[in-house]
């Protein structure tokens, strides 16, 4: 657990993407199974403890310290895990700590009655613990860990790491360490479960890739390059097919082996929020498309779609008021046949044949006939229909390749209107209280570029609430200075 805590703390203090990748590669290379597997699950958001609640952590802390002092400290620090980690009473030192004491179950860490738990012990214990038992497990673990370890434990248990690492970045570190393309990891990801022993065995060359057979796994999406008008001079319009770029969420629908999944662009399973889409998907097919709210065939504003996102169990009224549908772009798999190695024009023909007559909750995105770039540009500028962001250009002979290959696909958006942006940044640091740096930039689009015309303002923050935002939305408060107050 101490090694995992060191990793989280280092990731939090490392602002650069390459630095975070290096830290994760080193951890995967030097940590044995199943510890590294549980760590990977935590970093990718695949690890959760349903019976562990923040209220239990709060109650546990108030049984160890004065409740009033705890309330003041939490108000000052703003983060529950941070506050409890700092204010938790230290246990008495052991008079004769054993030499070379290592980390493990029941191994003394220099404290009376305190043992440093392993990450595996924590996960296996909490996965079977009842809600009433969680507190009795947490207390001795908190006694055995130092402030950084307590902070990492509570972040892990409450499922709120917030260390600037996305699931995609963790998978990228895994791919770099294992020397494989990240697309191969994403292809097997939804066919494996923590602690990913088969995955690590494959990446270390000790086994074949994990078998996914007929599992409803995700196919990494093919993305488009941004297109500027000047780029058109080097392209032949006869080589490309055009379709509308809809203002929704890019998704992939997968039905294999009797199971159905709806994946986001990043490979997250969002089917729970869209049971109406799941119920409408036929058997044995993988489709690429755009998730929208459609009313009588018209695309609703993006805000309507947002009402449906991130809901574990949408109510019948929500399903009725915001009817979801997918406009289909591409056909990737049909039955046992993988079509990604076919040219786009052929995949499109197969999609139209498969689609046939209209299907519930599925809509075929139309192709745009055109003869020249000038004609297509006029169509783009004249398309003021709600839900259209611009045009997609796809080479007729392009294969479906994961990632963003240069040349086959382009996205040609219409110019945006004047907009205001606010960029906010905060981080824990080295002895000074956290500050927020807010860049208020007033800009306008000019010839395809955002021209900033605003000014930069710095707002020092003594408390997480001073900016008027939610403490949950804050980055992470600084431990060193706030610890003086908490103690």
- Residue 459, Cβ neighbours under 10 Å: how many? 11
Q: What does the pLDDT look like over 395-425, one tens digit per residue?
A: 999 999 999 998 899 999 876 554 555 555 4
Question: Residue 450: what pLDDT?
Answer: 52
Among 41-55, 80-94, 378-392, 438-452, name the most confident range: 41-55
Average pLDDT score over residue span 329-339: 96
Question: Computed from CA positions of residues 266, 271, 277, 278, in that sequence, does the dihedral angle turn out positive or negative?
Answer: positive
pLDDT tens digits for 79-88?
999 999 999 9
Q: Answer whether residue 146 shows pLDDT above 90.
A: yes
Closest CA to 7 of 164, 198, 200: 164
Other CB atoms within a 10 A radius of the CB of residue 417 amount to: 7
How far from 25 is each of 17, 36, 169, 199, CA to CA, in Å? 12, 11, 11, 15
Tens digits of per-residue pLDDT, 345-363?
Answer: 999 999 999 999 889 999 9
Predicted local confidence at residue 136, as pLDDT:
93
3-state secondary structure of 10: helix
**Segments of the chain assigned to CATH 1.10.3260.10:** 2-164
Q: What's the pTM value of the predicted model, to 2 decimals?
A: 0.73
pLDDT at residue 451, rounded to an integer: 52
Q: Which CATH number fits domain 2-164: 1.10.3260.10, 3.40.920.10, 3.10.20.30, 1.10.287.130?
A: 1.10.3260.10
* CATH topology classification for 225-413: D-amino Acid Aminotransferase; Chain A, domain 1 (3.30.470)
What pLDDT does 415 receive?
A: 61
Write down the mean pLDDT value for the chain: 84
For residues 137-148, average pLDDT:
95
Domain with CATH 3.30.470.30 in the chain: 225-413
pLDDT for 40 beyond 80: yes
pLDDT digits (tens, 9 = 90+) for 253-265: 999 989 999 999 9
Q: Is pLDDT above 80 for 247?
A: yes
pLDDT of residue 430: 38
Dihedral sign from CA coordinates of 58, 62, 68, 70: negative
Question: What whole-number distance in Å separates Cα of residue 444 and Cα of residue 451?
Answer: 5
Q: C-alpha distances in angstroms, 80 versus 64, 155, 160, 361, 395?
A: 15, 9, 10, 43, 52
What is the band of 125 on the pLDDT scale with cuts at 50, 70, 90?
very high
pLDDT over 70 (residue 436)? no
Percent of the chain with pLDDT over 70: 80
The answer to whether 450 and 443 are in contact (CB under 8 A) is yes
* Contact call for residues 73 and 84 (beta carbons, < 8 A): no
How far apart CA 82 and CA 428 sit, in angstroms, is 11
According to DSSP, the residues that pair with 436 across neighbouring strands are 459
DSSP letters, 153-197, are HHHHHHT---SS--HHHHHHHHHHHHTS-HHHHHHHHTT--TT-H
Q: Name the residues annotated as catalytic.
A: 245
Could you give the CA distance from residue 434 to residue 80 in angstroms, rounded to a whole number? 16
């Amino acid at each position: 657990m101490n090694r995992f805590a060191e990793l989280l703390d280092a990731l939090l203090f490392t602002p650069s993407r390459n630095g975070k990748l290096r830290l994760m590669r080193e951890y995967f290379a030097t940590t044995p199974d199943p510890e590294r597997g549980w760590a990977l699950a935590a970093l990718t958001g695949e690890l959760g403890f349903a019976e562990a609640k923040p209220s239990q952590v709060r109650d546990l802390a108030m049984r160890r310290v004065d409740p009033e002092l705890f309330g003041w400290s939490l108000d000052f620090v703003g983060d529950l895990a941070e506050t409890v980690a700092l204010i938790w009473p230290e246990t008495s030192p052991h008079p004769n700590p054993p030499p070379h004491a290592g980390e493990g179950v029941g191994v003394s860490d220099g404290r009376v009655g305190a043992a440093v738990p392993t990450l595996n012990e924590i996960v296996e214990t909490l996965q079977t613990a009842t809600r009433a038992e969680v507190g009795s497990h947490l207390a001795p673990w908190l006694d055995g860990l130092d402030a950084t370890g307590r902070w990492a434990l509570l972040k892990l248990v409450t499922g709120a790491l917030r260390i600037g690492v996305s699931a995609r970045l963790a998978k990228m570190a895994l791919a770099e360490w294992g020397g494989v393309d990240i697309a191969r990891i994403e292809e097997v990801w939804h066919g494996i479960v923590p602690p990913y022993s088969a995955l690590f065995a494959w990446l270390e060359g000790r086994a074949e890739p994990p078998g996914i057979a007929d599992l409803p796994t995700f196919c990494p999406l093919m993305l488009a390059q941004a297109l500027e008008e000047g780029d058109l001079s080097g392209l032949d319009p006869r080589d490309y097919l055009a379709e509308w770029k809809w203002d929704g969420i890019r998704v992939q629908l997968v039905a294999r082996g009797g199971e159905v999944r709806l994946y986001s662009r990043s490979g997250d399973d969002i089917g729970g929020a869209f049971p109406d889409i799941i119920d409408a998907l036929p058997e044995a097919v993988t489709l690429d498309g755009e998730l929208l709210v459609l009313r009588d065939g018209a695309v609703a504003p993006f805000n309507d779609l947002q009402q449906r996102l991130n809901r574990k169990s949408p109510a019948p009224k929500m399903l009725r008021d915001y009817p979801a549908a997918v406009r289909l772009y591409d056909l990737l798999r049909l039955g046992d046949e993988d079509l990604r190695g076919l040219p786009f024009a052929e995949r499109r023909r197969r999609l139209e044949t498969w689609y046939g007559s209209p299907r519930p909750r599925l809509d075929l995105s139309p192709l745009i006939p055109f003869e020249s770039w000038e004609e297509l540009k006029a169509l783009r500028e004249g398309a003021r229909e709600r839900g259209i962001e611009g045009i997609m250009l796809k080479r007729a002979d392009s294969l479906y390749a994961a990632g963003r290959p240069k040349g086959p696909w382009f996205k040609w958006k219409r110019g945006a209107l004047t907009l205001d942006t606010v960029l906010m940044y905060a981080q824990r640091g080295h002895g000074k209280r956290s500050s927020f740096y807010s860049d208020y930039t007033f800009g306008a689009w000019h010839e395809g570029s955002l021209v900033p015309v605003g000014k930069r303002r710095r707002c020092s923050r003594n408390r997480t609430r001073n900016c008027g935002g939610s403490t949950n939305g804050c980055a992470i408060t600084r431990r060193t200075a706030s610890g003086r107050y908490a103690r």
